[in-house]
A and B are shown apart, each in its own frame.
Chain A
Amino acid sequence: MTDRAIDTAAASPGLRQRLAGVPLLVWLALAWLGGMIAVALLADLVSPYSYTAPNLRNRLVAPGHPLHWLGTDELGRDVLSRLIASIRISLLIAFGASLMSAVVGTTLGFLAAYFRGFVEQVVLMLADFQASMPFLIMALAVLAFFGSSLPLLIGLMGLFGWERYARISRGLAIAASAQGYASAVTQLGASPTRVYLKHILPNIASTLIVSMTLVFPEVILLESGLSFLGLGVQPPMTSLGNMVGYGREYITRAPWIMLAPALTIVVTTLAVSILGDWLRDRLDPTLR
């Protein structure tokens, strides 16, 4: 068997080599996101005070105070504690919504790819429609009709960007099932569910994950925008956009109330974008 000796050449590079190629900026982005997730998960442990607890003796304290590192607001509530609580809510919404839109979009894309014909046309038409309407306006309309609540907000955000996953997964699934491994597995007698979930999905997952890193920062911006307008997360609950909107009133006397969450939003979206760009270059150069 001469052909047995030929291979092993294409073996993958070692883990250490791969890690060495990661640029510093990506490490920083990863560190920031890791920190954010840790803060969100451990919010109750790392938070110095309850985010709703007023302290009337220390109102509008500037950052750098020994008891309140990031200062307090006009009710004397600790800005750092409020920031931590906001990060938790904002990340919950962003993760929940991104995951939802990925699932919804991929499912619709797969259905379009499997049934083709009428189903495909309907999915594509809805995707066109979704892409051509400003999402903020649609979201505002829904909130006007139903009022704001956390589940509705996550559900609404979960519709953001579905059309991108739908288009991508449809295209890739059609390409995969027209030739190659998917048709080979179909030919073995596998059911469509098996072909799509066990074979096509793992093969296109990297592309979907990259698109998720593109959608994720937009979800954060959208949620913070809605909350800023007072139409997203409702008090006493707090989110990053909420804090900015609230801090706006004190912009002359206590700009730190607004700047702390604003900076968090900017750095987080920046970190996800850096990570997304890097992943895209590594995993899937065809996406833009």
Chain B
Amino acid sequence: MLRFFALRLLRALITIGLVVTFAFVVLRLSGDPALIILGPESAPEAIAAFRKAWGLDEPLWRQYFSYFGAIAQGELGRSMRDGRAAMDLVAERIPATLALTIPALIIKIGIGIPAGIIAALNRGSLTDRLVMLLSVAGFTVPSFVLGLVLVLIFAVHLGWLPSGGQDSWRHAILPIATLGIGGAAVLARFTRSAMLEVLGQPYVRTASAKGVPWRQVVIGHALPNATIPTVTIIGFMVGSLIAGAVVVESVFSWPGVGRLLVVAVSNRDLAVVQCILLLVAATMVVSNLIVDFLYGFLDPRLRHAGGRSGS
């Protein structure tokens, strides 16, 4: 058990290390980091100080390590647009993004999981077909198309809701709906197949053959086991709370982290991009870790890892 968590922790650290390495390599390939991070109009002494601080005059492998050190100390550079610290710029956008993604996550789970379970329990029925149809649609319709179609219907045609901006809670409805519907479809499809797999397992069939009431079989045996794979995908959704809203925020001109990223990329505001990249990696890694810990408690086979995994 301890070894299991130690391995997961190590993997998490390696992932962060890889992201930092990725940023370092890409940064190094694209030009002089001092000019890129500070911006070309910075004072020469600032650039010199930066070079010294980041050790740009040293051999590459030492630069690599000082880069790690700088990032570990939270030295993430300044936006070249207004000279503010990239970290502050990103941090002030986080609430706006969470205001969209957390309600959307609740919708995804609240609709997706029950829909998937109901579809699996009534396999082949009309409900099942309907859920599958909608979930395939949810996968094939990109979020920007879904968002624009919603705008077309509810803002342009019916005039019920605003099409963009962040002035009131009514502005949040369409973006949340866009995010939630797409995610619910994915989750429904996933839950359904996880459920079907569990329902086909010998122990479930044995339980129902022994005369255990079907309701009890589902609640007592099938659901807990289907939870395990579903937790993974929910973990991925939590991990992408920050990253998942890039497109939708742009569609609805919602001033969150995603919109900031798109603007920063088109302006090549690299310090901001790098900061968001690390933020996303960090949330991803943390949520993965949480999922791994949950796994450890949900799956008795992992809890007794090392024991005979027959059962």
Task: Let me know if chains A and B touch directly in the complex, using CB atoms closer than 8 Å.
Answer: yes
Known: A251-B152, A255-B152. A134 touches B280 (CB 8 A): yes
Contact of B261 among A128, A133, A137, A265 (CB under 8 A): A137
A231 to B18, CA, bound (A): 24
A252 to B266, CA, bound (A): 26
Complex: chain B residue closest to A230, CB-CB:
B266
**A221 partner residues in chain B, CB cutoff 8 A:** 142
16 residue pairs of the A-B complex, CB under 8 angstroms, read A126-B18, A138-B22, A140-B246, A141-B23, A141-B273, A141-B274, A141-B277, A144-B273, A145-B27, A145-B270, A145-B273, A230-B266, A255-B152, A258-B148, A265-B142, A269-B140
Select the residue from A126, A136, A270 with max chain B CB neighbours within 10 A.
Answer: A136
Whole-angstrom distance between the Cβ of B34 and the nearest chain A Cβ: 15
The reply on B63 being an interface residue by CB < 8 A is: no
Counting from the closest, the 4 A-B pairs by CB-CB distance are: A144-B265, A145-B30, A269-B140, A144-B273
CB-CB contacts below 8 Å: B223-252 with A: 239-240, 243-244, 246-247, 250-251
A217 to B189, CA, bound (A): 17
**Mostly helix, strand, loop or mixed at chain A's interface?**
helix
Whole-angstrom distance between the Cβ of B115 and the nearest chain A Cβ: 19
Whole-angstrom distance between the Cβ of B189 and the nearest chain A Cβ: 10
**B247 partner residues in chain A, CB cutoff 8 A:** 136, 225, 228-229
The reply on A224 being an interface residue by CB < 8 A is: yes
A145 to B264, CA, bound (A): 11
The reply on A30 being an interface residue by CB < 8 A is: no
A202 to B87, CA, bound (A): 51
The reply on A266 being an interface residue by CB < 8 A is: yes
The reply on A279 being an interface residue by CB < 8 A is: no
Find out whether the CB atom of B284 lies under 8 angstroms from the CB atom of A133.
yes
The reply on B97 being an interface residue by CB < 8 A is: no
A3 to B197, CA, bound (A): 42
**B246 partner residues in chain A, CB cutoff 8 A:** 136-137, 140, 229
**A273 partner residues in chain B, CB cutoff 8 A:** 136, 139-140
Find out whether the CB atom of A248 lies under 8 angstroms from the CB atom of B273.
no
Find out whether the CB atom of B264 lies under 8 angstroms from the CB atom of A144.
yes
Contact of B148 among A128, A136, A140, A248 (CB under 8 A): A248
Whole-angstrom distance between the Cβ of B282 and the nearest chain A Cβ: 11
Find out whether the CB atom of A231 lies under 8 angstroms from the CB atom of B144.
no
Complex: chain B residue closest to A134, CB-CB:
B243
**A133 partner residues in chain B, CB cutoff 8 A:** 15, 19, 280-281, 284
**A94 partner residues in chain B, CB cutoff 8 A:** none
Whole-angstrom distance between the Cβ of B33 and the nearest chain A Cβ: 11
Find out whether the CB atom of B284 lies under 8 angstroms from the CB atom of A224.
no
CB-CB contacts below 8 Å: B17-48 with A: 18-19, 22-23, 26-27, 29-30
The reply on B156 being an interface residue by CB < 8 A is: yes
Known: A145-B29, A225-B247. A266 touches B140 (CB 8 A): yes
Known: A133-B19, A244-B148, A262-B148. A288 touches B270 (CB 8 A): no
The reply on B123 being an interface residue by CB < 8 A is: no
The reply on B11 being an interface residue by CB < 8 A is: yes
Find out whether the CB atom of A251 lies under 8 angstroms from the CB atom of B140.
no
A145 to B137, CA, bound (A): 34
Find out whether the CB atom of B265 lies under 8 angstroms from the CB atom of A132.
no
A31 to B264, CA, bound (A): 42
Find out whether the CB atom of B15 lies under 8 angstroms from the CB atom of A129.
yes
The reply on A146 being an interface residue by CB < 8 A is: yes
The reply on B145 being an interface residue by CB < 8 A is: yes
A1 to B5, CA, bound (A): 62
Find out whether the CB atom of B270 lies under 8 angstroms from the CB atom of A144.
yes
13 extra interface residue pairs, beta carbon distance < 8 Å, beyond A141-B265, A229-B247:
A129-B14, A132-B239, A133-B284, A136-B247, A137-B276, A141-B23, A144-B268, A145-B26, A145-B268, A229-B250, A266-B145, A270-B136, A270-B137
Complex: chain B residue closest to A145, CB-CB:
B30
**What 0/1 pattern do residues 106 to 146 of A give for CB contact below 8 A with B?**
00000000000000000001101100111011101111111
**B18 partner residues in chain A, CB cutoff 8 A:** 125-126, 129
The reply on A192 being an interface residue by CB < 8 A is: no
**A126 partner residues in chain B, CB cutoff 8 A:** 18
**A143 partner residues in chain B, CB cutoff 8 A:** 265
The reply on B195 being an interface residue by CB < 8 A is: no
**What 0/1 pattern do residues 261 to 292 of B give for CB contact below 8 A with A?**
11011101110011011001100110010000
CB-CB contacts below 8 Å: A209-255 with B: 217, 221, 224-225, 228-231, 241, 244-245, 248, 251-252, 255
A221 to B156, CA, bound (A): 25
Whole-angstrom distance between the Cβ of A26 and the nearest chain B Cβ: 14
Whole-angstrom distance between the Cβ of B75 and the nearest chain A Cβ: 18
A161 to B98, CA, bound (A): 28
